Amino acid sequence: MTTNEIDFKGFKASGFAMLFLFFLVLAACVGAFFVTISSAVLNIVLYAVAGILVLTDFICLGGFMMLEPNEARAMVFFGKYVGTFKETGFFWVNPFLEAKKVSLRARNLDVAPIKVNDKIGNPILIGLVLVWKLKDTYKALFEIDSQTMASAGQGQTVGVTVAGRMAAFENFVKVQSDAALRQVAGLYAYDNSEPGATEVTLRSDGNEVNDILVQKLNERLAMAGMEVVEARINYLAYAPEIAAVMLRRQQASAIITAREKIVEGAVSMVKMALNKLSDEEIVELDEDKKAAMVSNLLVVLCADEAAQPVLNTGTLNH
């Protein structure tokens, strides 16, 4: 990925050394006002030099800056980008450089559930949570209009605060995340409508869908110098208008699957019972009696309720 971000190569000095020099020059200039020279012209020159040094000293105060870990400052000299300063500590640089401070730390974004259509057209509600961070300061500050984004999203301008800039970037990430989520949700069905199907779905293949979501998000955010570290779907449900119907479909599918298991087990048990009776010669059954026995056993084993036994205490023949 191409980038215009460069490291700052301009002059920089230790902030503590320059702070000591500042107070030293200030003390010397103040002391100069209490010095009296016999020549009036020299006095005027001395006072003028001292005044200029004091003014210069206070101008140089604008060159002090401090950076914590995972912070950066994009350095701009009268509108020209001259590099990004990322060293941590207390420094002094040219006071005429404008230092636009941004944070490189990871940030969370919880995207509220939105209503979209899945691959087969079912309306669903889907939401995500993602972790993102600033990767390219040049693109973030100079290739997207963060000032306008902040005005639209926050009701205020960015100004010079890092909080304002990061709020504008977060607003950009939120809009692009919404678009990427709609795109990915349309690629897959909510779940498989047919039992045994192996097609990737939003409900059952979360890791694969999350990987695609990260890819789509990074494609959209690359233009702004931002990177998504992780993205996961944290809310998934049918839209209210079809939720009841889909619940009945899922219940019906579950009942059918359960019935299949019950019938499979019942047939196995009946077969075992007939083989056991035959092998141990407990009773001899002709085909009609075997059929009646199979029918009775299947009714007992497959019934939803417990069977009610009927005791035959006599003969049916008179």
Q: What percent of the chain has pLDDT over 70?
A: 77
User: What does the alpha-carbon distance between residue 24 and residue 37 come to, in Å, rounded to a whole number?
Assistant: 22
Say what the pTM is. Answer: 0.70
SS (H, E, C) 135-154: CCHHHHHHCCCHHHHHHHHH
Q: How many CB atoms lie within 10 A of CB 56?
A: 12
User: What does the alpha-carbon distance between residue 267 and residue 164 come to, in Å, rounded to a whole number?
Assistant: 71
Per-residue pLDDT reduced to its tens digit, 132-171: 999 999 999 988 876 555 554 444 444 457 888 888 899 8
Q: Strand, coil or helix: what is 43? A: helix
pLDDT value at position 155? 47
Residue 223 belongs to a domain: yes
Q: Are residues 155 and 226 in the same domain?
A: yes
Angle at 31 between CA 30 and CA 36, to 5 degrees: 120
Residue 59 belongs to a domain: yes
Backbone angles phi, psi at 136, to 5 degrees: -125, 105
Per-residue pLDDT reduced to its tens digit, 78-93: 989 999 999 999 999 9
The domain of 266 spans 244-302
Q: Are residues 116 and 223 in the same domain?
A: yes
Q: Are residues 249 and 201 in the same domain?
A: no
User: What does the alpha-carbon distance between residue 123 and residue 45 come to, in Å, rounded to a whole number?
Assistant: 82
User: What does the alpha-carbon distance between residue 228 and residue 218 come to, in Å, rounded to a whole number?
Assistant: 6
Q: Are residues 171 and 270 in the same domain?
A: no
Per-residue pLDDT reduced to its tens digit, 15-66: 999 999 988 888 888 787 777 666 777 777 777 888 888 888 888 888 999 9
Residue 307 belongs to a domain: no
Q: Are residues 210 and 285 in the same domain?
A: no
Outline where DSSP puts E strands in the chain: 12-14, 64-67, 71-77, 80-85, 89-93, 97-103, 107-117, 123-134, 226-238
Last residue of a domain, one of 213, 238, 263: 238
Give the mean pLDDT of the chain. 81
Last residue of a domain, one of 182, 217, 238: 238
Tally the domains of the chain: 3
Q: pLDDT-derived band of residue 278, with 50, 70 and 90 as boundaries? A: confident
User: What does the alpha-carbon distance between residue 81 and residue 99 come to, in Å, rounded to a whole number?
Assistant: 10
Q: Are residues 212 and 294 in the same domain?
A: no
Residue 313 belongs to a domain: no
